[in-house]
Every structure is written in C-alpha cells, then in structure tokens.
Amino acid sequence: MSTIVDETAAPDADTDRMREVLEYYWDQEWTDGLPVVPVTESYLRRFLDTVDRDPDEVLFTMPHLNRSLTVRTAAINAGLAGCRPEYFPVILAAWEAIAQEPHPVRGIWQSTTGTAPFLVVNGPVRTEIGLNSRGNIFGSGFRANATIGRAIRLACINVFGLHPHKLDQATQATPAKYSACIGENEEQSPWPPLHVDYGFDAADSVVTAYVIRSVMHIEARHTSVPEQLALDFADSVRRTGALIHEYTSALLVLTPEHADVFASAGWSKDDLRRYVFDHAVRSRDELAAVGKDALSHKSRWRLSAQHPDATPDTASGSAEPDTVPVLSHPTSIQVVVAGADNAGVSAVVEVFTLNPPRENPYSYAQVGARR
C-alpha cells in the first residue's frame, strides 16, 4: 500500500477533487466504510518523525497470511484514520503489545466469533494527547480515542486483508471493530493503575492490548454493599453465553463510584478479583440445561456431555464435580477504573484469552520504549 495523492496539487484541491480522492480510496477497499484522510508522503513523514524507528521495521506478522505490518504501514493507516502525528508513539506501542498477544497470530481476528482489538492506555500520555478516560469512554467525541483505535482496525483491513465477507468471517461482530481505545481514569481511582500492577512506574505511559468479544453494560445504582456489587459482576461474568471454552476471562471497567464502594470497605483489586473468582461458578445441571456440561476432545470448546466428541471438563475430577468454575484463576479478572463518577454504571469487557491461559495472559508495551 502506498500514498496516492499528488501532494503538489493537494493544497489547491477543491471539494470535488477531494471527493474523487475519497472515492478512489473506497474503490481500493482501503477504508472501514467511513471516509478516511488522504495521506501524502510529506504528511506520512510527520508521523514517522515522532519515533526513532526504521520505517521498514516489522512490528507484527500474521504467518498464516504471509503478511507483515511495518512502522511505515502502521503510520499510513494512522494517517488514514485521522490521527494527529503525536498519537503515533501510542499506536506503535499498541502494535508492540498486540504482537505479544497470541490470538491474532492464530487467526482469531478472522473468527466467526467476531473479536476485536481493545486498548487501555495509562500514564501521562493520556493528558498529553487528550485521550478520554472520564465519561462516554466507549462512545464518540474524542479524537484520540476514536482514531487510535481506528488506526489498528484500518491496518487490519489494509495490511492483513481482513475485509468482511472475505478473510474476516465474523458472523455478527461488534461495534468495537470500528475503534476501541480508552484511557484509565487514574486520577479518580482509589487503587494503583493497571500499568503499575504490571510493574511499571506510575510516570510511565503504557498501552495494554486485549482481544475482546463484547462490552456488557452493568447497571448497579442500588447498593453500597461491596459483596452485593461484586456478585452483580460475578453473575455477568459467569453467564452461560460467555462460555465458549472451558474458562472465560473478563476486564472489569469500574466507574469511580463503584471503585469507591469497594475501596471504602477496605477491598483491594486483588480482593475483588478473588471474590469474583470464588463466585463465578455454575452448577453442572445449569450447564447441562444449555448443553455446555462437557468439552470437545478436539477443540476444548464447551458442548453437551451427550456429544460423541465430549470429554469431561477439569471440574469433573475435582472435590466438587457438580460446581463448575468459569474462571481458571483470579488473574482471569483484570480491573481498571474509567468513566465519570455520576452514576453506578460499569462494564464487563469479555476478553478472549488462551485456554488454559498463560501465567500472564495480558499484553502491554511502554510508549516510547524500544523492544
């Protein structure tokens, strides 16, 4: 993929010419269905000048497609997405985090499940580039959030060929396939931020990358009792529709109001994880009722014990075989604080991780750091 606008003519281009350019991009299938920003060589250079990296350096490869993303192609798609050049170090860190995540390499971005990349940004870079972490975090209105997430999606389309109805076989997909990037509201969190949990300094800027299936709205304005609130989250995490594999994983995105309910009662993030882990269980009968009481011998996906490919799940050999945990470990639950403090509304982001997960199933990279 290369830039195609004649930059000597671009400054004098009229609206008709700009429409022609946008239609050309559309005809080449270089968009996500929305208009993109034409990229000239000089505009591309403004992105590349924000990082000390070789433009031909490979950031991420999908071997089964025999296609690779370079610093240059990442920058082109950042420009197309409408990013400011100063966003590019964050996008570079996002790709370095994604490169640690095994699922895209295995083709999960092409899956019928309809997964999407999801980014959480921590540290000073949030305020430096105007990344939203307070109010409407999953919605519109903030250029950094919208275009950084979109830059990842456009590269999926333009570099890896993940077009709907072609290499992208999502059955229904998720709106996160347009863009999914939030900042953590560190200033209103009662706990250390996500990147500090990973061992970074609070002054570091870090991007964490996830593969997600959905974002579930949790309405819980009714209580200030931490156990009641935690049970609301556990019930959402353990829903049978989430159980594709033997276990599931989730990112709890708490509003400051909900985080304060837990912190005021003396709960740490680890306390919350442990409580959700202990209560995110189903009975064997409940799973049998929906045909998910066993595993596929081949894929380890959940299916009925009556299926010819069925094999017992791990809980079958436990001391309580009729009680089935849906999480493999408390670290299958991650916690961030984001959004406004104007209501008891949080979210459960359903995360797609390895089954069983790695010791550390999450992927992150520091902005501006060399690999």
Average pLDDT, the chain: 92
SS3 content of the chain, % helix, strand, coil (to 5): 35, 20, 45
Which of the four pLDDT bands, split at 50, 70 and 90, describes residue 101?
confident
User: Above 80 in pLDDT, residue 359?
Assistant: no
Cβ neighbours for 235, distance < 8 A, ≥ 6 positions apart: none
pLDDT at residue number 48: 98
Measured distance CA(34)–CA(22) in Å, rounded:
10
Mean pLDDT value of segment 98-110: 79
pLDDT at residue number 300: 87
User: Above 60 in pLDDT, residue 283?
Assistant: yes
Mean pLDDT value of segment 175-185: 97
Q: Is residue 22 part of a domain?
A: yes
Count of domains forming the chain: 1
Q: Is residue 316 part of a domain?
A: no
Mean pLDDT value of segment 273-301: 95
pTM, 2 dp:
0.93
Which of the four pLDDT bands, split at 50, 70 and 90, describes residue 8?
low
User: Above 90 in pLDDT, residue 106?
Assistant: no
- End-to-end Cα separation, the chain, in angstroms: 25
pLDDT at residue number 319: 85
User: Above 80 in pLDDT, residue 26?
Assistant: yes
Long-range contacts from 296-304, C-beta under 8 angstroms, 24+ separation: 300/245, 300/246, 300/355, 301/244, 301/245, 302/243, 302/244, 302/245, 302/246
- For the stretch 306-316, pLDDT in tens is 999 999 999 99
Q: Which of 59, 65, 144, 72 is nearest to 109 (CA)?
A: 65
- For the stretch 29-70, pLDDT in tens is 999 999 999 999 999 999 999 999 999 999 999 999 999 999
- For the stretch 65-85, pLDDT in tens is 999 999 999 999 999 999 999
Q: Is residue 305 part of a domain?
A: no
pLDDT at residue number 102: 74
pLDDT at residue number 108: 83
pLDDT at residue number 145: 98
Q: Which of 178, 140, 338, 144 is nearest to 256 (CA)?
A: 338
Q: Is residue 236 part of a domain?
A: yes
Which of the four pLDDT bands, split at 50, 70 and 90, describes residue 299?
confident
Q: Is residue 296 part of a domain?
A: no
- For the stretch 193-247, pLDDT in tens is 999 999 999 999 999 999 999 999 999 999 999 999 999 999 999 999 999 989 9
User: Above 90 in pLDDT, residue 166?
Assistant: yes
State the residue range of the domain holding 149: 13-280+326-365
Measured distance CA(340)–CA(360) in Å, rounded:
29
Which of the four pLDDT bands, split at 50, 70 and 90, describes residue 2?
low
Q: Is residue 290 part of a domain?
A: no
